[in-house]
Amino acid sequence: MERLWRMEARSMTEIDWIARAGTRAKGKRPDFLGDPIAERMLSILLAVAGEVSVLKERLDTVERLLETNGTIRREDIEAYTPDADAAYARSVLTKEYVARILRGMQQDMESMQAAEKPLADISADLRDS
């Protein structure tokens, strides 16, 4: 297992992450909002949100290691694997974080759904007309 980890670590250091970040996906960019500037801003926002999420998990790792060991080394951070309880707590925190970020969009969707007539009412209106 350790040998496999070393092989993965070696291949990870050989990857040019800057070059990979600049690669483009094949095909057309998605157009959800109908405005290229808004699309770009949404893309940037979600990328930053992803980075913050990673930082929050890394900080959680640091805090847990400090609680357990009283000291910390970079190797400890890199080798840390959360136990089941820590993984569950992290998943709950991540879900809450994403919900807070997307709260406005969720509220917009809920208000649109509330404004829609139920299908049974639409059917009744069509039948009666």
Residues 68 and 86 in one domain: no
Show the domain range for 104: 82-114
Q: For residues 122 and 54, give the distance between their C-alpha atoms in angstroms, rounded to a whole number.
A: 46
Q: Whole-structure pTM over 0.85, yes or no?
A: no
pLDDT of res. 29: 75
Q: Is residue 86 assigned to a domain?
A: yes
Query: For tokens 């080394």, what's the residue?
Result: 73
| Distance (Å) of CA 26 to CA 23, 30, 33, 64, 116 | 9, 11, 20, 41, 36
Cα torsion through 61, 67, 71, 73, rounded to 10 = -10
Q: Is residue 91 assigned to a domain?
A: yes
Residues 67 and 91 in one domain: no
Q: Is residue 119 assigned to a domain?
A: no
CA geometry: angle 61, 50, 112, nearest 5 deg: 130
Q: Is residue 53 assigned to a domain?
A: yes
Which parts of the chain sit beneath pLDDT 50?
1-2, 5, 7
